[in-house]
Amino acid sequence: MALPQSPLGDAANVLVKAEGNTMRFVVAWILHDDTTSVALPGYVDSDGSTVSSTFVIDSDKYGSSVGTADEQARFLTEEMQSKGVEYRYQIIIGDSAISRYGLIEKVSLQKSGSTPVTWKATLQFVAGDVVTIQA
- On whether the CB atoms of residues 11 and 109 are closer than 8 A, the answer is no
User: Over the stretch 113-133, which tens digit does the pLDDT of each residue have?
Assistant: 777 778 999 999 988 877 765
Q: Which helix (H) or strand (E) holds 74?
A: helix 69-79
Tell me how far apart the alpha carbons of residues 102 and 128 are, in angstroms, rounded to a whole number. Answer: 5
Tell me how far apart the alpha carbons of residues 126 and 20 are, in angstroms, rounded to a whole number. Answer: 12
User: To 10 degrees, the CA torsion angle through 13, 17, 18, 24?
Assistant: 140
Q: Which helix (H) or strand (E) holds 125?
A: strand 118-127
pTM of the full structure: 0.66
User: Over the stretch 58-108, which tens digit does the pLDDT of each residue have?
Assistant: 666 777 778 888 888 888 888 777 666 667 788 888 788 888 888 888 899
- On whether the CB atoms of residues 102 and 132 are closer than 8 A, the answer is no
